[in-house]
Amino acid sequence: MFSKEAVQPSLDDLATSTIQLGRELERSARAVSLGGNSRDHGFVARTMRHLAERDAFDQRHAASLAVLQDLMEADLASEVLHTERRFIETHLDRNGQHGEVRDCPVYSERGQKLLDVQRTLQRFIAAYDATLDRIAAERALRRLLAG
């Protein structure tokens, strides 16, 4: 019998990925002028500056990520052109395809780009959280082994 272990990325790989995604996020947010007004745009620029400078783990900016997500949602909402009803498959079984009809937003061209920025933000946050989780786990193991 063969056993296949899941390969976990190293802490270095997680941190590197987080920093790269942070830089990608900053570039894409700047390209679409994220932030619906001058105040929000200024906040986004200040928040993103540390990501561009490869300083993704500065805890002074950690709370800014939640605000950034809220700004992203508001900016995206302003780019909805209309909604359309679509069939969304929920599962497939021997009786065929099952699903539901949902009202889905249709976005402007800028809205489509904002969706890409939102996906990058989500990937960045996941990588950021995974890195901090790994650091916390390593600290906990050191404490456990020391005492």
What does the H/E/C string look like for 35-85?
CCCHHHHHHHHHHHHHHHCCCCCCHHHCCHHHHHHHHHHHHHHCCEEEEEE
Pick 82 or 147 by higher pLDDT: 82
Q: Is the pTM of this model over 0.95?
A: no
Pick 79 or 63 by higher pLDDT: 79
Question: What percentage of the chain reaches a pLDDT higher than 70?
Answer: 97
